[in-house]
Structure 1
Amino acid sequence: MTVLLLRLAGPMQAWGVKSRFTVRSTELEPSKSGIIGMLAAAVGRRRTDPIADLLSLRFGVRKDQPGRVIRDFHTARTLDGKDSMPLSDRYYLADAVFLAGIEGDRPLLEGIDEALHHPAFPLYLGRRSCPPTPPVSLGLREASLLDVLRTEPWLASPWFQKRHRSRVFDAELLIDQEAVPVGERGSARGSRDVPVSFDPRRRDYDFRQVERLIVQIGVPKADAHDPMLALEEANQCS
């Protein structure tokens, strides 16, 4: 089994699966439809092109740095300034870092890996206003999707890691149910984020079953003296 690892980090991300009209929400983790869309952009697929090969990939994501939800009260006008567009609330994840993995046939993943380094279309984290910080691709691994997401080093930012002085960090892992052995499955939940088609004329999504697990990641040993961390703790207490 081959897994392609993705580092999903940027100032803002937005992974909406239920956004309608004037409220543009975000999930707390990347959606499968958002990741499939990013991969399709990388390899040069247009919205009307078939994506059956990408839909065959198993998907999982680990929350290495959950981030926080922020709201943007959005206003807009037409170019001539005469008409106002509807007001909207747009929600984003700020300062989040995720480790995502896709599992499938090695030749397909090798092509996607190459495309992520030289994408045909711009990559973004859910919305066009949310570009990722490089690198996006962390390369291929020869193991199961679950094992890779359990064993990869922690990707959280240094400032976030310094706030966790315990030896392990409990990271939430959301993964396709079929990628988890039957004996390790719990109570899966349905998520309607499998894109049947990105074609604007018949865009539709299907359900998948998602398992939620907790993964303990080893925390790197911090420096003995960190004056900036001491200042942060003092500010929190004041």
Structure 2
Amino acid sequence: MSRTGVLALRLAGPLQSWGAASRFTRRTTESAPTKSGVVGLLAAAAGIERGDDTRLAPLAALRFGVRVDQPGTRIRDFHTAHHGITGASMPLSERFYLADAVFVAALEGDHTLLTGLHDALRTPAYPPYLGRRSCPPTEPVGLALHEDTSLEDVLTRVPWQASAWYQRRHPTPRTLTVLRETAPGESVAAADVLRDQPVSFDAAHRRHTLRTIATTPVPTPAPAGGGPRATHDPFAALAALEDDSA
């Protein structure tokens, strides 16, 4: 019998965008990372090409969950574009992003597969991005690989990952929201469905199916190191000036 594990990721950046129902010129974002987007990030790191559905299938079969550590702010942007050959103007598009958000994502499944993905994140074949190519992460995505545990346990125990400035300016919440994929055979009184279960990333015929999601609160764990994350914040000096003048 193969060992199971859980791969934990920290998804943080100036902008993120996780679309599940975007159409034509209106490109929306969900309030948390989608399974399709995170599996796509891992597939890119592992060097899986878009049309390689055989290699994609084991990644898509992993059970997925996400914890909202810092909800961020939804913003809207307008994009203009021109045809690369004719120079003709393309339709104006409306695109939505999450600014200054932080999430902990976790994937549960075969330990060997997750070990390979964890290694791939250290030396990715293609750069990772948070939903769109214009949304790079602020730091390495991989947090840790846990063995012989559950998705629910990892999303409960991983230290709170909110940014240092956010922890300084906001009281620690009593609970954090977890959106997790239901386990096979699990009965949930109230569940949502989202069409973000990837089947194929082939540009000619992308396919996704529905996935059942349970939303639960978990107690907010202590931050890493017992306090705000000790990472470089380029706006820390400005924040200090604002605090002094308040």
Q: TM-score, normalised by structure 1?
A: 0.88
Aligned-partner Cα distance in 2 for 1:180–1:151: 24
Q: 1:104 aligns with which of 94, 101, 109?
A: 109
Question: Residue 136 of structure 1 aligns with which residue?
Answer: 141
Question: In structure 2, what residue type is equivalent to 1:98?
Answer: F
Where do 1:204-219 residues align within 5 Å? 204-219=207-222
8 Å CA contact 1:145–1:179 kept in 2: the answer is: no
Matched pairs, number: 229
1:230 is displaced (CA, Å) by: 9.9
Structure 2: 5+ residue stretches without partners: 229-238
8 Å CA contact 1:146–1:180 kept in 2: the answer is: no
1:155 aligned to 2:161?
yes
1:197 aligned to 2:163?
no
1:212 is displaced (CA, Å) by: 0.2
1:63 is displaced (CA, Å) by: 0.4
Q: Which runs of 4 or more aligned residues in structure 1 lie more than 6 Å from their structure 2 counterparts after TM superposition?
A: none
1:191 is displaced (CA, Å) by: 0.7
Structure 1: 5+ residue stretches without partners: none
Q: TM-score, normalised by structure 2?
A: 0.85
Secondary structure, counterpart of 1:140 in structure 2 = strand
Question: Residue 94 of structure 2 aligns with which residue?
Answer: 89
Structural RMSD (CA): 2.4
Report the CA distance shift for 1:145/1:82 in structure 2 as closer, same or farther (over 3 A): closer
1:80-130 CA deviation, whole Å, 9 max, x = no partner?
Answer: 784211101110110000000001111100000000111111211110111
Secondary structure, counterpart of 1:215 in structure 2 = strand
1:15 aligned to 2:18?
yes
Where do 1:20-31 residues align within 5 Å? 20-31=23-34
8 Å CA contact 1:192–1:208 kept in 2: the answer is: yes
